[in-house]
Amino acid sequence: MKYFFLHLGLFSTLVLTAQNHSHTGDEPFQYPDIEGYLTLKTDLHMHSVFSDGSVWPDIRVQEALMDGLDAIAITEHLEYQPHLADIPHPDRNRAIALAQQEAKDHDLIIIPGSEITRSAPVGHNNAIFIGDANELLQEDALQSFKTAKKQGAFVFWNHPAWYAQSPDGNPVLSDFQKKRIAQNELHGIEVINFGAYAEESLALALEYDLAILATSDVHGLIEWDYANKGLKRPLTLVFAEERSLDGMKEALFARRTVAAYNELLIGKEAFLIPLIQAMVEIRDVSYIKNTSILRLELSNNSSSDLILENQMDYTFYESSPVVHLKAGQSKIIQVKTLEVLKNLRLTFKVLSAYTAPKVHPTVVWDIRVDTP
């Protein structure tokens, strides 16, 4: 019926306008690149009305644009389809296609994905970088994993500590999963899902060399789950050689990730330490006149607060050994070096970061003192 052409004009305008606004009070995410790699901000687990979510895929794209993400994966449950009566689509790639269409004029990468959903011991698993979601829908979960591998997918275990599948809240690695890992069919694990950090999941990631991931698993609105509660969505930071589907895929298979959720940063030392080093810029280094007190400004150019504890023999003048360096802000510290130095190895334990259960990384910054 021809009388709708004008109509379309109005409402697409409205939707586009909305994209110019970020979530209230929140800026797009900022994380610096590290030596040799781009730092890509990704959310690899989310749902729309095409499985059990409550929004059309375009909302997921707009949320990601507001947040300044580099990539998202739409990962509908293949088997769990509560809206099936209303949306009887035969093609399980449909949500991905709609997200790609919404994103086509924007600088956001849509990673094709799907969720393979079972009770324990298989559990919930996301396959991303898939070729065709339909082929993954099989009665036997084993076949789903085999097919994912055939498609070249990167597969990760979702919310391993979920109490609905593990009543003590601890992840239990089943024989099924151990075999998937052994056969290179399972490559990653969520250590953070919808706000939940499980250090036991981190232990598994380290023991079995799985990529360390954080995802929102959003079903409703990012705004309601996070921003309106003063929180930021979980992110997987991916350290890639190029900003592309291939670049991210290579990086994920190489386990080059850090999980980020508000102030919490979790990853292997090889990536977490250079990331934190890059997050802190050090400025205006000079001695207070006629003293051996070295003044310097620490500036946090990322979206994560840092809680730092002094590990040097030198103590601070005018501040606690525990420095709370908020996202996007800067702080002056004054180090009592006892004599006037030319160089200083500034050394902090990062209390808000983990490289293993209960293990905080120690990060150093080598500073040259400006001569007056």
| Contact positions with its own copies (CB under 8 A) in 310-369 | 315-322, 324, 334, 336, 338-339, 351-352, 357-358
The residues in 144-163 that bind its own copies, with binding defined as CB under 8 A, are 161-163
Nearest approach in angstroms of CB 307 to its own copies is 7
What does the alpha-carbon distance between residue 50 and residue 43 come to, in Å, rounded to a whole number? 18
Q: Which is nearer to its own copies, 86 or 105 (CB)?
A: 86
The residues in 167-186 that bind its own copies, with binding defined as CB under 8 A, are 167-170
Question: Could you count the other beta carbons within 10 Å of the beta carbon of residue 150?
Answer: 11
Q: Which residue in 263, 274, 304, 361 binds its own copies (CB under 8 A)?
A: 263
**Selected range binding its own copies among 8-16, 30-38, 106-114, 277-285, rule: CB under 8 A:** 8-16
- Assign 3-class secondary structure to 229-264: HCCCCCEEEEEECCCCHHHHHHHHHCCCEEEEECCE
Q: Which is nearer to its own copies, 40 or 72 (CB)?
A: 72
Q: CA end-to-end span of the chain, whole Å?
A: 78
Q: Which is nearer to its own copies, 49 or 363 (CB)?
A: 49
Token output for 256: 């080059």
**Selected range binding its own copies among 85-93, 104-112, 147-155, 175-183, rule: CB under 8 A:** 85-93
**Selected range binding its own copies among 68-76, 80-88, 207-215, 271-279, rule: CB under 8 A:** 80-88
Q: Dihedral sign for Cα 95, 247, 16, 23, please.
A: positive
Token output for 354: 């983990």
Nearest approach in angstroms of CB 112 to its own copies is 17
Beta bridge partners of 294: 287, 335
Q: Which residue, among 111, 105, 107, has the nearest Cα to 126 in the 3D structure?
A: 111
Q: Which is nearer to its own copies, 174 or 228 (CB)?
A: 228
What does the alpha-carbon distance between residue 285 and residue 176 come to, in Å, rounded to a whole number? 56
Beta bridge partners of 334: 295, 317
The answer to whether 310 and 316 have CB atoms below 8 angstroms apart is yes
Q: Which residue in 178, 229, 283, 368 binds its own copies (CB under 8 A)?
A: 229
- Reported as type and span, the H/E element at residue 348 is strand 343-350
Total of residues contacting its own copies (CB under 8 A) = 91
The answer to whether 24 and 227 have CB atoms below 8 angstroms apart is yes
The residues in 13-52 that bind its own copies, with binding defined as CB under 8 A, are 14-15, 18, 21-25, 49-50, 52
Beta bridge partners of 72: 43, 110
The residues in 99-128 that bind its own copies, with binding defined as CB under 8 A, are 117-119
What does the alpha-carbon distance between residue 299 and residue 329 come to, in Å, rounded to a whole number? 6
The residues in 276-315 that bind its own copies, with binding defined as CB under 8 A, are 288, 290-293, 307, 309, 315
87 binds its own copies (CB under 8 A): yes
Q: Which residue in 198, 248, 276, 279 binds its own copies (CB under 8 A)?
A: 198
The residues in 234-253 that bind its own copies, with binding defined as CB under 8 A, are none
The answer to whether 262 and 275 have CB atoms below 8 angstroms apart is no
Nearest approach in angstroms of CB 98 to its own copies is 8
Q: Which residue in 116, 130, 136, 196 binds its own copies (CB under 8 A)?
A: 196
Nearest approach in angstroms of CB 149 to its own copies is 22
Q: Which residue, among 273, 270, 267, 260, has the nearest Cα to 31 in the 3D structure?
A: 260
Q: Which residue in 56, 176, 208, 365 binds its own copies (CB under 8 A)?
A: 56
Q: Which residue in 35, 36, 88, 343 binds its own copies (CB under 8 A)?
A: 88
Sequence-separated (6 or more) residues with CB below 8 Å from residue 172: 120, 121, 166
Q: Which is nearer to its own copies, 199 or 250 (CB)?
A: 199
What does the alpha-carbon distance between residue 263 and residue 216 come to, in Å, rounded to a whole number? 15
264 binds its own copies (CB under 8 A): yes
Residue type, 205: A
Q: Which is nearer to its own copies, 124 or 249 (CB)?
A: 124
